[in-house]
Amino acid sequence: MSTFKAPKGTYDLIPPQSATYLAVREAISAPLKNSGYGYIETPGFENVELFARGVGESTDIVTKEMYAFETKGGDQLALRPEGTASVLRAALEANLHKAGNLPVKLWYSGSYYRYERPQKGRYRHFSQVGAEAIGTEDPALDAELIILADQAYRALGLRNFRILLNSLGDKECRPVYRAALQDFLRGLELDEDTRRRVDINPLRVLDDKRETVQKQLDGAPKLRDYLCEACKAYHEQVRELLTAAGVAFEDDEKLVRGLDYYTRTTFEFVHDGLGSQSAVGGGGRYDGLSEMIGGPALPSVGWALGVDRTVLALEAEGIALDIPAATAVYAVPLGEEARRVLFGVVTELRRSGVATDFAYGGKGLKNAMKSANRSGARLALVAGERDLAEGVVQLKDLESGEQTAVALGAVAEEIRRTLG
């Protein structure tokens, strides 16, 4: 055992569980690749100010959870706590919005970091797959992203999730609601930190999970009553497009999400089998974020889905993904000549796309066959001196136990035929 352990609140992904995470990432990204989204990768750390401006200085992410540090050169950097600000920064820096083909549609996958109290489903290091559509204001884009996330989850076999939907208004109507909400909240019995939040971003109080706060929110002004006609029409179009696509959703007027940049459409995917950490992903429209970080006006929308949370949702529904074995063929040489010959066969099989492993370290037949079974291989390829003298190798079906002598020159073709 090593002297060192993974830092508190983090985890290592090791086989076979890592294969499930890879399969989840692939399932989430598949519909995006099929819908015009190109892959983007950004650094694991960015300038602190990018997140302070974009995510919001009053958010828990920036004030309490961000891993910030000063480099030897004096730069103030932070490990990325979310993906949207980084992706938009990269798109602006590369002038993707000037290519003349809007929206710029991007997807990404990676690790993110927040200093939180570690608990199941809430880690300090976590994995997400995200998507952003940058530069176009269109209800169809909002609906498209929600539909693609729904498609990804259903492709994984998930059924017990719900989509919560809300509109946060825009710069025209939200200030009026903000003032009305502040007047209401200032009459409540709130702690000092929450009162400060009322002054900076009162909508965040609606997202407070504490029962003592939620009990006092009955009678709070409803954002829907303050939406301007343009926001009402926009939101209704999103709802109509989702309904026409057969995607069920629930209107949730208290849904604000935890980031300050959201405008208009806001949504969240929740799974009822995960307890208090029920959110498995979410997103929304962020029409003013580009200007917040020094760019031009670029109305945009996006989401991020948690890979860790999605894996927990699969477990909660008892879903085991059909993941192909990492090894299809396991070669077992008995003797030095067989070792040389079979290693050549293994190399040929790998080049032709057959997942093949080899009994390294001079294992005896019994131990080598145990390793073959543990690998999940369908076939074992065994050869000793007598086999080679006869110009054959033994091909054993590890499922049926049937063993056949195959001519050495035909073994690769026979394996491909057997595996289909």
Q: Does 37 share its domain with 126?
A: yes
Q: Is residue 264 part of a domain?
A: yes
Q: Does 303 share its domain with 344?
A: no
- Provide the token pair at 374: 């543990």
Q: Does 136 share its domain with 160?
A: yes
Q: Does 262 count as an annotated binding residue?
A: yes
Q: Does 132 count as an annotated binding residue?
A: yes
Q: Does 83 count as an annotated binding residue?
A: yes
> Which of 268, 291, 316 corresponds to the end of one domain?
316
CATH number, domain with residue 375: 3.40.50.800
Predicted local confidence at residue 27, as pLDDT: 96
Q: Does 330 count as an annotated binding residue?
A: no
Q: 111 pairs with which residues across the strands?
A: 127
Q: Does 294 share its domain with 349?
A: no
3-state helix, strand, coil in the chain (%, to 5): 40, 20, 40
In which residue are the tokens 């009053």 written? 58
Q: Does 144 share its domain with 252?
A: yes
Is the bond into 15 cis (omega within 30 degrees of 0)? no
In which residue are the tokens 């269109």 written? 138
> Which of 294, 316, 338 corresponds to the end of one domain?
316
> Which of 268, 284, 316 corresponds to the end of one domain?
316
Q: Does 115 share its domain with 245?
A: yes
Q: Does 311 share its domain with 385?
A: no
Q: Which residues contact 411 (CB under 8 A, 6 or more apart)?
A: 345, 381, 393, 395
pTM of this structure = 0.89
Q: Does 169 share its domain with 88?
A: yes
What is the CA angle 390-392-398, rounded to 5? 140
How far is the C-alpha of 91 from the C-alpha of 143, rounded, in Å? 22
Q: Does 112 count as an annotated binding residue?
A: no
Q: Does 154 count as an annotated binding residue?
A: no
Pairing of strands 356-358, 329-333: parallel
Q: Does 154 share its domain with 290?
A: yes
Predicted local confidence at residue 59, as pLDDT: 66
- DSSP reduced 3-state for 220: coil
How far is the C-alpha of 187 from the C-alpha of 202, rounded, in Å? 13
Q: Does 123 count as an annotated binding residue?
A: no
Q: Does 351 share its domain with 301?
A: no
Q: Is residue 196 part of a domain?
A: no
Residues of the chain with pLDDT under 50: none
Host domain of residue 353: 329-419
Query: What distance lies between CA 125 and its chain's CA centroid?
Result: 12
Number of domains in the chain: 2
